[in-house]
Amino acid sequence: METTLRGVGVSHGVAIGEVRHMGTAVLEPPAKQIPAEEAEREQGRARQAVEAVAADLIARGNLAGGEAQHVLEAQAMMAQDPELMADVERRIAVGSTAERAVYDAFAAYRALLAGAGEYLAGRVADLDDVRNRIVARLLGVPMPGVPDSDEPYVLIARDLAPADTALLDPALVLGFVTEEGGPTSHSAILARALGVPAVVALPGAGEIVEGTVIAVDGSTGEVFVDPSAEKRAELAKAAEERKAALAASSGPGATSDGHKVPLLANVGGPADVPAAVEAGAEGVGLFRTEFLFLDDSTRAPSEEKQVETYRKVLEAFPEGRVVVRVLDAGADKPLDFLTPADEPNPALGVRGLRTLLDHPDVLRTQLTALAKAAEGLPVYLEVMAPMVADRIDAKAFADACREAGLRAKFGAMVEIPSAALRARSILQEVEFLSLGTNDLAQYTFAADRQVGAVSRLQDPWQPALLDLVAASAEAAKAEGKSCGVCGEAASDPLLACVLTGLGVTSLSMGAASIPYVRATLAKHTLAQCERAAAAARAADTAEDARAAAQAVLSGE
């Protein structure tokens, strides 16, 4: 009998196939004491397992490339954390086996993360995956990972670690469903980059019996268990229509009546550029430079290395627009040489621009490197600061750009509600705004973007969030300046129309989403987008906002 479940759709497309469940490692090794003379041998086993797991994660990252590579390299650094390793060796010295010492040391670190505020708690899934891989290697059991299968299937898991998501084979894994996670989790972002349909935050997904046929709609978040022949045909027809629309869509982003909406790509470095170019991106709306800094958390990359990396991206978009976000360190992206280790709540502490203003030499080097990278290139370089709270922040950043001799537009990210509410004041100091809807939702609703339990409040369709987008766009229009969106909200084709109707002037997203957004915008006039935006803002819930916008755009 067909039943319908609803989670959060995070990657477009439809997948129909049999369920296979993610394999897991033995989570808790037995607690037993070892003789003192075996301690040195056990410490050696632990070190070897840690290095092997770190090497495996790095190798997976090299194979995957792009954003996945940066995420997996960060996990490898987590595995090799010297304080964690010292704790493991201390536990072995007092009688624990290597596997039990790893388990207990990671448990202690896990508790510290959970107690350091909800933002850092979002890294717990990554930490658990690293622990499971090390323990599995020590116990000699299979690593956690995707099941072996010769036939295509739909994967179900409690959560998917980046190491698993990064190397999913789209020829075999038709789509995936997870019980946990959120729309802006690492797995969701990587799923969009891979173009694999995905639904997250679906309670009870793990109870679906192995081998059951399900249909996953990554756009709506619906999962149909034992779908009828009629439902399968309906979904297949919709998928074909969507595919045909994508094939017919090309060129710059615009509504059907010619209102231009540049469609830009979010990138983490040169490895992400080919996919952006292939998707027809008109430039880069968010160049996340922190990945360059995460390669070595103990010191900043040299000016020469920064120049080389930035230039590769800038060269890929001649006559195009490239918006670079300066280093966004802190919270879930700690750097040993910049961010304090003992902040009680890093998400609400010294993060983003605040960190850079505390370390002006790091900001100056980055801005100087950007200036040198752009020399002689016909690119429209724009540079923006993360986590701008008010006009004082905006002025400090603009002054730093001018002092570094940077010939570019200076902008501010709107990720804090205060910035949206006082956007016109901020625009007295900078030339554009860029809305980071992921963090803006997080701070508006006090809902960590990595925690599946509060995914309802991370939904970018929340009317309160749309109100803040509208306030920012209206302020920019009044000042004759631009206001783009570079958060994951831009990757939802229907929401892209609403954002356009709210007055947003450009949309930036993962490369895989660009064709979907381009095709959907091309079906509707600017006036229709404006009516859809008004209808969405008039609603009281995210679900009602989406339904109201859909009704307007479908002519109901």
CA distance 12 to 520: 13
CB atoms within 10 A of CB 396: 18
Residues 6+ apart with CB under 8 A from 224: 2, 3, 4, 5, 214, 215, 217, 231, 235
CB atoms within 10 A of CB 319: 10
486 in catalytic set: yes
Maximum distance among all alpha carbons in the chain?
A: 79
CA distances from 382 to 47, 73, 105, 430 (A): 45, 28, 44, 11
> Active-site residue among 12, 21, 70, 186?
186
CA distance 543 to 333: 32
Q: What is the CA radius of gyration of the chain?
A: 24
> Active-site residue among 12, 70, 359, 486?
486
398: β partners:
none
Instruction: Say if residues 384 and 410 touch (Cβ distance below 8 Å).
Output: yes
CA distance 269 to 35: 50
Phi, psi of 234 (to 5 degrees): -60, -45
Burial 227-236 (b: 16+ CB within 10 A, else e): beeeebeebe
The burial of 158, by beta-carbon neighbours within 10 Å (0-12 exposed, 13-18 middle, 19 or more buried), is given as middle
Residues 6+ apart with CB under 8 A from 312: 270, 273
Q: If DSSP codes are grouped into helix, strand and coil, which group holds residue 151?
A: coil
CA distance 105 to 83: 10
For 357-500, list the strands marked E by DSSP: 380-385, 409-414, 432-435, 482-485
According to DSSP, the β-strands at 283-288 and 321-325 are parallel
According to DSSP, the β-strands at 213-217 and 14-21 are antiparallel
497 in catalytic set: no
Torsion angle of alpha carbons 508, 513, 516, 521, nearest 10°? -10
Instruction: Say if residues 20 and 147 touch (Cβ distance below 8 Å).
Output: yes
Catalytic residues: 186, 486
